[in-house]
Structure 1
Amino acid sequence: MTTFSLRHLILPSALLLASAAHADEVSVAVAANFTAPMQKIAVQFEKDTGHKAVLSFGATGKFYAQIANGAPFGILLAADDSTPEKIAKENRGVAESRFTYAIGQLVLWSKQPNYVDDKGAVLKTGDYKHIAIANPKLAPYGLAAMQTVEKLGLTAQVQAKTVLGENIGQTYQFAASGNAQLGFVALSQVMEDGKLREGSAWIVPESMHEPIRQDAIVLNAAKDNAAAKALMDYLKGDKARAIIKSYGYAF
């Protein structure tokens, strides 16, 4: 009887230990524009798989520099498609893992209601002191903003009033704090559940700039990491896509 009871006590414990042993974690470098949806996805991912995603947020250009210098990230969720492509060509990542997880949407936004019209004419009136734009050398959304301004023929006018953000997160903070009356930000930063959270906005037509195609890639540090593979699969699934879509992204 004693032996039988011990065996039945030990086996469940062994199974629990085996399950825990299969859980893994992966360090993920996440483009700043994707902060809110990725925070939600990471929570759901851990609940559904047992794996953990440890998130860092910032500018894609800075992440690239860190990866090139040996930073041990496992996955890059970039704000563009060119950086993951470059990483693959340089053999810093797993080329076949690369895919587009979202297509971003640029928006001209103000915290003030009724300040931005639905065609962005406020840019032409010049009735603002400062406009926040992410550094176009580091942030794809900043590059898209400058392409938009150039297409409107307003480069000189806008540049004279531009406050540069290091990344799209800082750019949003400039506009949200009121330090800049306007900001070119990611739609995901001001939209939730398909609605504008506050203020006023002009969703920039995609024809005004190059597509903001956002790619993911597994980096060499995580090529054999179970959590990395699981997360890449999860990002392609219905639960993650529903969250991504609710923040204004396309696929």
Structure 2
Amino acid sequence: MPAYADEVQVAVAANFTAPIQAIAKDFEKDTGHKLVAAFGSTGQFYTQIKNGAPFEVFLAADDSTPAKLEQEGDIVTGSRFTYAIGTLALWSAKEGYVDAKGDILKANSWQHLSIANPKTAPYGLAATQVLAKLNLSESTKAKLVEGQNITQAYQFVSTGNAEIGFVALSQIYKDGKLSSGSAWIVPANLHEPIKQDAVILTKGRDNAAAKALVEYIKGPKAAAVIKSFGYEL
């Protein structure tokens, strides 16, 4: 336990909301540092970071945004690493609605398909890649409902505004099982890998809590939590 504790401001991709909340409890208990998280889409965070937002650590939903920040000199050199590999799922809040092979997509018997904004949310981009791969981009275009981020994409489905939606597996899965509804876990070969990278931003350079958090996320305790939400490591 450090003699004095620091606070770390963390920008967290929306798909990682539940895991970081679980990790934060252990991190605070084990290190004495405090984690203050903001949740949103990776693209929006990029803009906020460039505009001077006070974030010290960034847990993105892709690897390209942190790489870009690295090229632009906005991170602590050598701090970038992959903390999780995300899994995409097609989900319905209704039991038995989505089949295990995702054939419901082709059946086109639904009115609305929810996805996150592909311009700012990597899971939304992955969803569009899946539709393209299955030759469904045209037939589904008029039925797409776009959330600002993956949390909103999930909310459209959970509230019934969309019968189905592409969400992060971590939003609907805990300890090896689906928490509600029905889902198709999208095979990884239908989209580019969702490699999620973390960085210490320049503002966190001298913050002991920022360094401690990054080390903690690399550790076995956090790894167990990350895996329990359906991520690969």
TM-score range, shorter chain: over 0.9
- Specify the alignment match of 2:124 in structure 1: 142
Q: Is the 8 A contact 1:80 1:212 kept in 2?
A: yes
1:246 to 204, 209, 228: 228
RMSD between aligned alpha carbons?
1.0
Q: Structure 2 unaligned runs (5+)? A: none
In structure 2, distance between residues paired with 1:194 and 1:223 = 37
Q: Is the 8 A contact 1:58 1:167 kept in 2?
A: yes
Structure 1 unaligned blocks of 5 or more: 1-15
Query: 175, 180, 191: which one pairs with 1:209?
Result: 191
Corresponding residue number in structure 2 for 1:122: 104
The alpha carbon displacement at 1:220 in A equals: 0.4
Match of 2:3 in 1: 19
CA shift at 1:95, angstroms? 3.0
| Cα displacement (A) at 1:72 | 1.1
CA distance in 1, matches of 2:60, 2:141: 26
Structure with the higher fraction of residues in helix conformation: 1
Q: Which amino acid aligns with 2:43?
A: G
2:139 matched residue in structure 1: 157
The residue number in structure 1 matching 2:64 is: 82
Please point out which of 53, 64, 77 is paired with 2:46: 64
Name the amino acid aligned to 1:96: G
CA distance in 2, matches of 1:68, 1:26: 18
TM-score (structure 1 length as normaliser): 0.91
| Consecutive aligned runs of 4 or more in structure 1 exceeding 2 Å deviation | none
Counterpart CA distance in 2 for 1:32 and 1:49 is 24
Equivalent in the alignment of 1:9: none
- 1:37 maps to 19
* 1:184 maps onto 2:166 in alignment: yes
**Structure with greater Cα Rg:** 1
Q: How many residues align?
A: 233
Q: Distance in 1 between matches of 2:22 and 2:77?
A: 27
Q: Counterpart of 2:49 in 1: which secondary structure? A: helix
Query: CA separation in 2, counterparts of 1:225 and 1:198?
Result: 40
Distance 1:58 1:88 in 2: 20
3-state secondary structure, aligned to 1:146: helix
- Cα deviation, residue 172, structure 1: 0.3
Structure 2 counterpart of 1:108 = 90
User: In structure 2, how many angstroms separate the alpha carbons of the residues matched to 1:181 and 1:246?
Assistant: 26
User: C-alpha displacement at 1:245, in angstroms?
Assistant: 0.3
Distance 2:182 2:140 in 1: 19
Q: CA deviation at 1:156?
A: 1.0
Structure 2 CA distance for aligned equivalents of residues 146 and 87 of structure 1: 25
Match for residue 7 of structure 1?
Answer: none
Q: Distance in 2 between matches of 1:160 and 1:122?
A: 16
Distance (whole Å) between structure 2 residues aligned to residue 160 and residue 95 of structure 1: 44
1:236 aligns with 2:218: yes
1:174 counterpart residue number: 156
Conserved? CA contact 1:89–1:95, under 8 Å:
no
Which residue identity lines up with residue 105 of structure 1 in the other structure? Answer: T
Using the alignment, how far apart are the partners of 2:222 and 2:140 within structure 1? 37
- Using structure 2 for the length normalisation, give the TM-score: 0.98
Deviation readout 1:149-176 (Å, 9 max, x if unpaired): 0000000111110000000000000011
The residue type paired with residue 177 of structure 1 is: T
SS in 2 for 1:137: coil
Say if 2:33 is the partner of 1:51: yes
